[in-house]
Every structure is written in structure tokens, then in C-alpha cells.
Amino acid sequence: MANRNITDQLTDERVALMLDDMLPTIYSQVERQSVLLGEFESTPYKEERNGGARIRSPLRTGKNTSFKTFGRGATMTPQIYPSAMFAYWNYKQGAGDIMIDWVEEREHAGGNQDSVVELLTLRIDDLIDSVREEINTMLWNSAVGNAGMDMNGLQLLVPTDPRTGIIAGLDRALNIWWRNTYWDNNASGFAYGKPPHDTTLGAPAAVGAFGDISDGASDGLKRMGTMLNNCAQGENMSDYSIITEQFVYEQYEALAQHAKNFRIAYSQDDRIVKYNFGGALFRGVPILFDTVTNGAPSGQMRFLNKKYIKLITDSQAWFKWSDEKSPVNQFTRVRFLMLRGQLILLKPVTCAVLQGITAWQA
């Protein structure tokens, strides 16, 4: 009896160490194999904060017009310009569990300690798939799902029509500077690249066919250029990624087939290449794709500046195990994988969206 108890204790310790040792692997597999989470985790702008209920973000909303040239004897009257305010974002949290039933634990007990470890390995693999799928779908959402408990998604922060909606307590209908860039098919707007806060901008328009096979001309390529010019002027291009769905991504790749002398270069980023997230470059910016099944919206393409759309995580609750739990009315032992964070957007004008992209026409 004593020897069996010692064996069980050693197994418990081995299981605990295994779960702790597996945390980096769990994080790596969830992060690197998720298109969106991997993009937001891999930037230097991702932030970690320790606890709190809300994230307070300073915003620039106005302009300091104090600079003026002057001559001898001139005077200047200093004043405070209303150029700053704050947005507030609520942290969101989630958890996934690893559970062992007492009966199955006894069935795998005894001399064969590897049996319990094998069981745990299978359940950890299953948990990795579950967390990766749920987070990836959540980060694509157009609304805060699960009764408001999900994190913000891309379609919410960078919508196809940014003229309405309340984000972080700010109404986009009233605060036009709080809108992302989009294309309205207005001739003058297309030619000169109007910012989203231009009051003459109309309703968002569909791009339509990516190009014309008969002559190789591509409206889709033109719109991509306009959107990138509109949202990225004065910004660091290395901060940008273009995110779309597989069908639209393949329409871009078809340029090499339909457009004479058009060549496509590809990113050599290890994560993009290894997990086949695309990587075709547009003016040096990588284009990544996800599937509609995973939540990517059909026919849309987003231009993201990761300096301003970024992930904030709770440093003590981001891919961390909870203490072991034993529910009073169940014959089980449970540990939870805890995640707490939020996706935020600080400068919407630096992000853009195209919609209604369809296949090349004959």
C-alpha cells in the first residue's frame, strides 16, 4: 500500500511539472498557428499590463495650431488646445480546461506512469486546437459575441462601413475622426484619396471583379494601391499587414497569370512560410489569408497598421494555469488555462478596408 501511494504521489508531481513545462509549447502552437493572433503577438507594439478592469488609451482628437512665423516685436498668446481624450476598453477573459476523472485516473495508475502522461498529452493537444480555433474566430468577429464577453474582432474595429457604431464609448457618427479608411467609389475621392473623416465621403462601395482577363487590367490592384496610400502616408510600412480570405488572396496571386510582366515576391517570414498563411507581398507588405470557415469575411481585404491596432494582455493571466480545482460534487481534478486581454485600435485612419471583391472577369 505504501509503495502504491508513493507511486501515485510521484505521478501527481510528474503531471504538475508536465503541465508547467508544456505552457510554452501550448502558447507557441496557439500563437504561431493562428493567422490573426500570431500577427498581433509578434509585433513590438503588443503590450502587457498587470491586472485592472479597463484599459485606458490616450487619443489625439484635435490639432495644435500654435506654430506661426513671426517678426520683430511680435507677441504670441499661449492656449490649451483640445487635442487629447481617452478611450476605455474592458478586459475580456476566457479559460479552457484539462480534466481527469477519478475513475480513469485509477485505471491509469500503478506502475505504468506513462499511461497518465499519454492521456494528458492527448487532452493538451485537444485544448490547443480548441483555444486556437475559438480565439481566431473571435478576432474576426463583427460584434462582441457571447453576450459581450468576447474580445473585440477585426470586423468591429475596422468595419466596412465606419460611419456608424460605438467603439470604446465613442460614437463614430459624431466623431468622424474615429473612422477607419474605406473606398466609396467617388471619382474625386478615388483620384485624390480622401481621408475617412472627409464629410463628402459617401457609402462604401464594392470593388467588384478583381481584374479583367481579356486585357490584364486590375481594378482590385488599383484599389489596393489607393487604400494603402490613403492609410499609410507618413507611417512606417513595416508596421503593416494585409489580411484577407483565401479566395481574395488567390485573386491577387492570379495577377502573375493574367497581368503581363507582373511578378509577385513572397515573404520569407518563418511563421508565414511554415504554416502557409500566404505571404505574397504588395509593395513590400505581406498579404496573409485565413478561411471563411475560420471566420474571415468573404470578399474583404483589410490593411492593418499594427502600431495602432494591437493586443493588450494581462501579464499574470495570459496563457497561465490556474491552481488545481476539485469540484465538491464531482470525482475529478481540473486545471484551467487562463487568458485575459483585449484587442484595441488607437488610430483608425491608419487602417483600411476593401469589400465586395469578386473573381477575375473574362
CB count in 10 Å sphere of residue 320: 15
- Check the CA dihedral 351-352-358-362 and report its sign: negative
- Per DSSP, 58 falls in state E
Q: Are residues 89 and 309 in contact, defined by beta-carbon separation less than 8 angstroms?
A: no
The identity of residue 226, as a single letter, is T
pLDDT (0 to 100) of residue 111: 55
Distances (CA, A) of 52 to 56, 149, 340: 10, 16, 11
Residue-wise pLDDT for 129-142, tens only, equals 999 999 999 999 98
- Per DSSP, 361 falls in state B
CB count in 10 Å sphere of residue 128: 20
What span, in angstroms and rounded, lies between the C-alpha atoms of 135 and 154?
12
Environment class of 189 (CB within 10 Å of its CB; exposed 0-12, middle 13-18, buried 19+): buried
Band of the pLDDT at 18, cuts 50, 70, 90?
A: confident
Band of the pLDDT at 109, cuts 50, 70, 90?
A: low
Strand-pair partners of 57: 87
What's this model's pTM, rounded to 2 decimal places? 0.87
- DSSP letter string over 281-345? EETTEEEEEE-TTTTPPTT-EEEEETTTEEEEEEEEEEEEEPPPB--TTSSEEEEEEEEEEEEEE
Q: What is the mean pLDDT of the chain?
A: 88
Band of the pLDDT at 186, cuts 50, 70, 90?
A: low
Angle subtended at Cα 104 by Cα 98 and Cα 108, rounded to the nearest 5 degrees: 105
Environment class of 111 (CB within 10 Å of its CB; exposed 0-12, middle 13-18, buried 19+): exposed
CB count in 10 Å sphere of residue 221: 17
- Check the CA dihedral 234-235-237-242 and report its sign: negative
Task: Give percent above pLDDT 70 in the chain.
Answer: 90
H helix count then E strand count, the chain: 11, 15
Residue-wise pLDDT for 217-231, tens only, equals 999 999 999 999 999
Q: Check whether 351 has a pLDDT greater than 70.
A: yes
What span, in angstroms and rounded, lies between the C-alpha atoms of 60 and 53?
23
Q: Are residues 341 and 318 in contact, defined by beta-carbon separation less than 8 angstroms?
A: yes
pLDDT (0 to 100) of residue 54: 94
Tell me what the mean pLDDT of segment 76-92 comes to.
Answer: 86
Band of the pLDDT at 308, cuts 50, 70, 90?
A: very high
Q: Check whether 193 has a pLDDT greater than 60.
A: no
Tell me what the mean pLDDT of segment 293-298 comes to.
Answer: 94
CB count in 10 Å sphere of residue 144: 16
